[in-house]
Amino acid sequence: MSQKQALITGSVVAASHEAHLGTGHIVHASVLDGLATLEDESVQCIVTSPPYWGLRDYGVAGQIGAEPFLPQYIDALVAVFDDCRRVLANDGVFWLNVGDGYTSGGRTWRQADKKLNARGMDYRPDTPEGMKPKDLMGVPWMLAFALREAGWYLRTDIVWNKPNANPESVRDRPTRSHEFVFMFTKSLKYSYDVDATIEPSDDGKKTRRKRSVWNVNTEPYGEAHFAVFPTKLVEPCILASSKPGDVVLDPFFGSGTVGQVARNNGRNFVGIELNDEYVEIAKRRLHQRSGGYDVKITKP
């Protein structure tokens, strides 16, 4: 077995003998360097949320999301996900959550938020060409259309409604309480278990196939000073597009939500993360919330 194959199967992880739990691996590297360690068609499912453009400062030189111009951000992610398509199985599914934002209106900084320190930034990109101050940029759809043009099949958009969304101080528009999750596939035909995410009907008397509006509360994680993926948002993606023993990839691993959900549902995972602090947070989180699991961490 090659080193790359061992990384994917999780055979280097001590918990690999636990049949009811998946195994996993964190690659401590930039996303492209991390992807370069993975074999072609070696993962069945990708679930990720990349850094949003101009909305967070993750404290890493050259970080995605800090590009001065919006087209540079779109191009950077198209390149990343092009390599993700290489490592995804031909019948695999790719789930992408990405947030939107408003033009800066000429402001060159952002006030820190008491609940989210990472919102405080000493830079803000200029208003993109063709937009006006206070415009909603439409970044998620710009990226979705760019990925479709790059060869991905854009299968559906999912509205992630946040019932517990934070209030906003704005008084001239409704408070935004949703984000988008896009479902992409590599091929026209792909693996999708429609019965894996059956949900109760509105009256609770019957069941139905999962619809395209998901009501999922945000979930704080005490160690993280940045927004984290809710487990209940990730779980239906993994259940519908993978089977126990399959490999799930998150190329922007962050605090490790995708790894936690994958492992606790019997899937193996690979997470790629550049930030030293986030790697340690994910390691501790997986240990605490996945049965004392010590994850293997390597650098290319």
- Cα 37 to Cα 298: distance, rounded to the nearest angstrom: 11
Dig out the tokens for 83 from the structure.
């390599």
Q: What is the pLDDT of residue 107?
A: 52
Closest CA to 263 of 54, 21, 45: 21
- Cα 249 to Cα 22: distance, rounded to the nearest angstrom: 13
Whether the predicted pLDDT of 132 surpasses 80? yes
- Cα 181 to Cα 237: distance, rounded to the nearest angstrom: 10
DSSP classification of residue 132: -
Sign of CA dihedral 46, 179, 140, 118: negative
pLDDT band at 77 (very low <50, low <70, confident <90, very high): very high
- Cα 235 to Cα 210: distance, rounded to the nearest angstrom: 13
Which pLDDT tens digit goes with each residue over 155-213?
A: 999 999 999 988 888 899 999 999 999 999 999 999 999 999 999 998 989 999 999 99
Closest CA to 81 of 70, 66, 69, 92: 92
Tell me which long-range contacts 192-199 makes (C-beta under 8 A, separation of at least 24).
192/93, 192/240, 192/241, 193/239, 193/240, 193/241, 193/243, 194/240, 196/236, 196/239, 196/240, 197/236, 197/239, 197/240
- Cα 216 to Cα 219: distance, rounded to the nearest angstrom: 9
Grouping H, G, I as helix, E, B as strand and the rest as coil, residue 159 is strand
Q: Which of 6-10, 128-132, 135-139 has the lowest mean pLDDT?
A: 6-10
- Cα 156 to Cα 236: distance, rounded to the nearest angstrom: 14
Percentage of the chain beyond pLDDT 70 is 82
Fold of 3-298: Rossmann fold (3.40.50)
